[in-house]
Every structure is written in structure tokens, then in C-alpha cells.
Structure 1
């Protein structure tokens, strides 16, 4: 921890400059937010329940992506129609990755300016629970069953919510989720006279189609597919070969297993042996290449639909990833945990639950960015929008397996990224790179 103190000091400055207000409250910077206790002393979530004529202020931290403030303004405005006595301040944190975002939030906590509610993905919940920074919802759930039923919490898919249930306790409710599916450029398939793959397709079917799609047109290289190297997407391919980055209890790295090596070797061979995928490199915009008709198949999540729609690209469909030795969907989900430093647990958990589960929240903002967590909302929205095969997401929810996100994820992914980059830059073999990654990750987990 000592070696990270210098980084924390720098991030304090960065976070302080990024704060903005939303909802009905005035803009606040980090120094103006009230300092909260650092212990989790108040376990009665109804003890601070607001009287009808009292006003309570709480704060939510949220990634500062495009449209975030407008989105939260709309959500808070609707929330205040039902709960006008809860004023919500917003802190927008510059976002480049979940590990970076998590570090910045922890810096706020260390500086005494912790938010009450936090937008967080599965990539961060383990570390917040381990550090005692997340407050369990169990007492709130037991004390307010009718409220949760009314909000729609009981309609949230249990499998999608599972990442926020740790050691028998619940730390929030899933709002949205994503898994990796194969996006198919129907223009290229039609030009080549290739039928779209069925759900039962396998590794050989995938490679054959990728080879048929690969070629040249008007002097431009056309690739059949893309070879992913990022942690989330590669995890999906590993799961499809009965492999994973870590063992089941996330105490050991298994990237050196025969199944994992075979999976990464196949992805590597898509580039260097079969030549059906471009070499992964910084700045390679595979999404634009897909829309421009230069890539036929790309593994991606529902988050890419907004970009496709904004660019007027509609002639596409999706399919599950091809089976290698099995077919297993990998997913990540997001929620709104309440920090243990909050002075208003009831109001914070009420707001969190409303954000996660209300029909307004899910139906208004989960049409193109993510998949809704509520079963009824999935079944309402997915059949009415592109892609035509969108109900794959509803089917996947029943069998999807969450990505592995231990409390050491930030350092783990740094090691993973280093060796995947070396492998695909041809500076180290697949087998040697994964062995070295395994050794370093094992040392990290043991420490």
C-alpha cells in the first residue's frame, strides 16, 4: 500500500477538479461535501428514516461519460416526484477504466468526502466489500419488503444480481448487464452468399465463415473477424473452452492450463496463422471497421448498439459466441452500492433501489447501452428493437457466468494486459507469456 501513496496524492487533485452538481441542489466541489464517519456504526437502516417534512441530502458518484449529467438530472427529477424530501447531489468522476475509477473513489473516501451512493460494476464490488466500504442491504430488505416489491426489485434476474451477493450478504441490486455476443455484418454475409450462423455453431464453423468473409474489395482489406485481447472479451472465449483466468474461488491463476493456452493460441492464430483478423494495435477502431464493411464479425456487448444507431448502421444481427469445447456466456453487471460511511442509510438505499429497479429507470435508459436486469423489462424491450436476434440476451441471462473480479483486479489486469500485449506483438510465445502471467498473478493473489 505504501507504494501507492504518491498516486493517491495525484488523484486527489484530479478528482477535486471533476466534481459537478445535478438534480435540485447546487454544484458542489469535494471540499464542500460533508465529512462523514469512517466506521460502519449505524446498522439500523431505518433509524435515520426521514420524516415527511424533513429534507436529507445524499450524494452519488458516477462516471463522467457523455450524457451522464443529463441522464442523472432526468432520473433524479423523476425520483423526486415520489420522494421530494431527498435531495441528491452528483459527483462526476473522470472515467478511463473501472480500476482507475475505483482508485479515484477510494481517494475521495480517504479524504473524507465519500459519496453515499456509488455507480459500480462487478469489477469493483469485491474490493469495496473487502475493504469494509460497502454497506449490506439485508436489514433494509428485511424491514421494507413491500417497498422493494413495489419498486420491482423482486423482478431482477437472480443470476444477474449474483455478483452483488457476497458471503451471504447483498450489497445492492443489479441495474444493467452486458455479455459478449458476436455481432454480424449482414451486408458482408449477403455479398458472400453466406448464411448467418446458428446458435449451435462451433469453432470450425466460425473459422470457416471468417475465412470466407476475408478478402479485398476496392483495394481495401476485408477481415472475417477480430482477435480480442481485453480481459472481459477474452474471458468469454476462455469460458467457452472450459477455461478461465482464475480458479473458482479466485485464489490461483489458471492461465497456464492447457485449455487456456489453447484458447489464446486460437485467438493468436486468427491473426498470424489464418490471417482472418487484423493485428491488435493501439488506435485500431474495430467498431468503425465493422460499420464500414471491413470486418464481418466482432465480439462485443450491447453497449455498442448506441454507436451503431448514431451512425445509421442497421444491417446487422447477433449470435452467441461459437462453442470451443462448450458454450458458456460471460457477463458483467452494474449496480449502485451504498458506502458504509453514509449518515443516511435509509435514504441512500431507497435511492439506490429506485435507480436499480424502477420501471422508469430501466425502460428509459437501458434500451441501447446495456441489457436491463429486470426480467419483464428484458422481455418487453428486446423483441421491439434491433437486432432481430436480441432475445439472445434474455436467454443468456439464465445461464451466464459472471466475469472474475477479485479485490486485486486493478493489479491483476495490469499483469494480464502486459503479457497479452507482448504475445500479440510477437515478443513472447503464447505458452511462455501465459506462464509468466500466471506466476505474477499468483504472487499478487498470495500477497
Structure 2
């Protein structure tokens, strides 16, 4: 829930091992003062430094997106620097270390997981004034982007990023494994019971395939079941503010009704009944042989297993389309459906964009470049090959997905419109500590078979992180 090209698209929403992330949390306290002291983002005012979550070879390919900007601003150069990592926590840790060392970039790719962290620590520049000034120029962009994605990029009433991609937690499935079990495509309104029935039928066929598989992380893990069951790890609320944005760009859009100034994550609710019930369900599936024991981290392992027809169903986002295609799966060998209904059919999502750091001495030019990145042409450069879901609905076409599949590609964007209660993953300023605790307690629950005890521990972990983070 990311942004930009990633070295491993299937690890894009996982969480990092405790050691690295803990270092980032421990070191972030002094960063705001370091950045606000006026440290330069570059020794050369004619260079815009952009930090992206990818390898350097992929970062170099992004220069195509900078060409129009450089042509319009003679003498200015855009330098893309890639940082690799296990997942977003790893990226954030390395970025924060770089900032603390006085080598802050002008622009950085930041996903949902880190947006409130950077905003709360005073590292990110609000975009409100820029957007108000260039409202007429941006109207076509906002008209093409679902308001849920915009709200996810807000914090305490301010907008910090223009979304460049997102991924909702849908359900991918192997068409051949379902067919061999005598099952067709699930209905749009399929339920948890329908899912269980399909998983059972796949299991009865025998063989080496596991009916369902998942990984331990926040995005698209057992947390997708938690959302469908009406639960969350934190109390949900909204920050006041943002009326100027909604009134300007979404005045008559029903999907903007009730939108405010960003998600406000309140007191922990990790051991509430819906959350416990959701994790208990994962334990049940594992005990019955309908799900494998999950690994901690990203989904790279799941990609290989799915492509080898070893998994019947798994949570995935739009980035699975290009990823499975690149792994050798032919069009028609996999498809996608909305996540099944439990008490609700609510989905979770993560989004990504490019933020401007307060320490940048080129903020105005950085804004011009960030603004240019959300054109359809540049979004194609940033995320080629259906390795994410575009925020602009007009870019979601049958022609685009004809080369990769899945057949029901419309599910990716329609998740936002069909299920208006769909929301971003909980990602407060202390997200990293929360992710570490979630990993630990989920693993504990799956090993012990005791969801309530593990989630009581998670509740305590989050209460502490909220106070100290």
C-alpha cells in the first residue's frame, strides 16, 4: 500500500524484522529538529534528489519521467536514487538514517505505512497551499482518483501526497485448482462459508497444493479477515479539516461524503472480539490442513508457490497481476475476486505517492515535479507492466490487462466503488513498532494455537507504543 517500482513487488506490503525497524524508531526522535534546522537536500541547487524504494538499476529507468520536467526547467536535473530493502520498514529505516546524517533528499516515495510517521515528525511538507494554487490544473487528476485514496494521504487535516498507486486486498485464485475441485468463479458476494467450502473441496482432491496461504504482515494478511469481520487493531476516527479539498474537487461526489482530514488512529483494540475471532479462524484453517503455516515478511515466497500451482487462493493486490505474469503464469491461469464477506465485505488497502521533505531548499520545483508525476504518461513510467493499481480510474482498461490478466481486472479499482467502507490499513505514527509487535504476536498465536493470549499481548504492546511513540 507503496510507491514506485519495487525490486520485489510481492513483498511490497510486508513488515521488517524487529532489529532494523527498532533502530529507525529509536532514531527518529531527533530527526525533526535536524531537518528543521535547514540542512540542505543537495549541495547543488540545480539538482532535485528523489529517493525511491527500488534497486538503482530500476531507479535509473525513471529518468524518462523527469525528461519533460527538465525540458521545462533548463539547467535542472532530477536524480533518482534507489534504496532496496525487505519491505517498507526497511526502506524507512535507511531513509531516516540518511536524513539524520544530513543527506536528506528533496522528494521521497512514501506508502501508507510511513505517511503519518513522516508527517507527525515534521519531516514532510504539506501540499495544501500548492494544491489550492494549482486547483484548476489538478481538477482532471482529482476527478479521476477515488476520494478514499486522497483521504488516505492526509494527516491532521493536511494533504501530504498525491497518490500514484494503491493496492486493495482482494482474493487471487488458481483457475485450474478450482476447476479440478469442481468449483467455478466465486460470486461477487461470496461469503466466508463459500470460501471454506471451496478450500475444503481443494483439500479433498489431494495433491501438493494448499487451499489457502498467507504471510504474517499488516497488509493483506489475516488482517483482511479482520476487516471483513468488522474489526481493527486500532480505534478508527477522522481528523477534522480538509473541507477546502472536498468542496473544491469532489463537491457532488457521493463517495466523498463523510471524508475529513485523514484517518485518526486511536486507542488499541487488538484483543477485541472481532479481532480475536479473525485470528482464531486462521488457526482453525491451519489445524484442518486448509492453510499452511505462514511465514513472516513479504509475499515473494507466495509468488513462487502460486505460480507453481501450489496455492489455491491467496490475498493479493493489483501488483499480483504483473508479478504472476512475470513469474510465467499464462493469462487465464489465475483470476481475482473481491475478498469474501464475513460480517461485512470491507476491504483494506495501502496507497503510495511522493512526498516533499521540509528540509528541501527546492520545494517549489519539487512540487512542480511531483505534480508532473501524476500524469497518465508518467504513471506508466513509474509503474510499468501492471505491477500495481493505478489511482487514475481512466487508466484501468481491458487493453492494459490483456497482456497479463487477470480476466476480472476490474475488481482492483471497483473494490473502492463497490465497498465504500473499504479503508486504509491502520498506520499511525508508531507504525513500525506496531508492525514488529504484530509479527511477533501473530507468530506466537499460530504456534501456540491461542489467539486470545497472543492478542492480549499485542494489545499491551500497542498501548506501550502509543504512549512512547
- 2:30 alignment partner in structure 1: none
Which residue, out of 158, 176, 180, partners 1:187? 176
Secondary structure at 1:337's aligned position in 2? strand
Which residue, out of 277, 289, 293, partners 2:309? 293
Which residue, out of 282, 288, 304, partners 2:320? 304
**Is 1:137 matched up with 2:132?**
no
For the 8 Å contact 2:35–2:99, the answer to whether it is kept is no
- 1:20 alignment partner in structure 2: none
For the 8 Å contact 2:111–2:350, the answer to whether it is kept is yes
Within-5 A mapping of 1:214-233: 214-215=203-204, 220-233=207-220
1:178 to partner: Cα distance: 0.4
Structure-2 change in CA distance of 1:205 and 1:429 (3 Å):
same
1:61 to partner: Cα distance: 0.8
1:149 to partner: Cα distance: 4.2
- 1:397 alignment partner in structure 2: 416
Which residue, out of 258, 268, 283, partners 1:253? 268
Quick one: distance in 1 between partners of 2:345 and 2:379? 28
Quick one: distance in 1 between partners of 2:216 and 2:20? 27
Within-5 A mapping of 1:334-373: 334-355=352-373, 357-364=374-381, 365-373=383-391
1:195 to partner: Cα distance: 1.3
Quick one: distance in 2 between partners of 1:228 and 1:96? 14
Within-5 A mapping of 1:406-445: 406-426=428-448, 429-445=450-466
Which residue, out of 182, 191, 200, partners 1:211? 200
1:173 to partner: Cα distance: 0.2
1:332 to partner: Cα distance: 0.4
- 2:294 alignment partner in structure 1: 280
Tell which has more relative contact order, 1 or 2 (C-alpha 8 A, sep 6+).
Answer: 2
Secondary structure at 1:251's aligned position in 2? strand
For the 8 Å contact 2:117–2:430, the answer to whether it is kept is yes
1:192 to partner: Cα distance: 2.3
> Aligned pairs, how many?
404
Within-5 A mapping of 1:13-412: 38-39=36-37, 56-65=46-55, 68-149=58-139, 152-215=141-204, 220-233=207-220, 234-248=222-236, 249-272=264-287, 274-281=288-295, 285-314=301-330, 315-355=333-373, 357-364=374-381, 365-379=383-397, 384=402, 386-398=405-417, 399=420, 400-412=422-434
Q: Which has the larger radius of gyration?
A: 1
Structure-2 change in CA distance of 1:154 and 1:271 (3 Å):
same
For the 8 Å contact 1:382–1:390, the answer to whether it is kept is no
Quick one: distance in 2 between partners of 1:58 and 1:306? 30
Q: Deviations over 1:164-187 (max 9, x none)?
A: 122221112000000111111011
For the aligned residue pairs, the C-alpha RMSD in angstroms reads 2.9
The TM-score with structure 2 as length reference comes to: 0.79
Secondary structure at 1:323's aligned position in 2? coil
Q: Which runs of 5+ in 2 are unaligned?
A: 1-18, 28-33, 237-263
Structure-2 change in CA distance of 1:154 and 1:108 (3 Å):
farther
Quick one: distance in 2 between partners of 1:340 and 1:204? 50
Q: Deviations over 1:280-300 (max 9, x none)?
A: 246993322222222111111
1:156 to partner: Cα distance: 2.5
Quick one: distance in 2 between partners of 1:239 and 1:382? 30
Quick one: distance in 1 between partners of 2:88 and 2:451? 27
- Larger displacement relative to structure 2 (396-405 or 195-204): 396-405
Quick one: distance in 1 between partners of 2:177 and 2:69? 45
The TM-score with structure 1 as length reference comes to: 0.83
Quick one: distance in 2 between partners of 1:180 and 1:370? 12
1:339 to partner: Cα distance: 0.3
Q: Deviations over 1:3-48 (max 9, x none)?
A: 999947x99xxxxxxxxxxxxxxxxxxxxxxxx963489xxxxxxx
Secondary structure at 1:140's aligned position in 2? helix
- Larger displacement relative to structure 2 (129-138 or 90-99): 90-99
For the 8 Å contact 1:39–1:340, the answer to whether it is kept is no
For the 8 Å contact 1:228–1:267, the answer to whether it is kept is no
Q: Which runs of 5+ in 1 are unaligned?
A: 12-35, 42-53
Structure-2 change in CA distance of 1:90 and 1:287 (3 Å):
closer
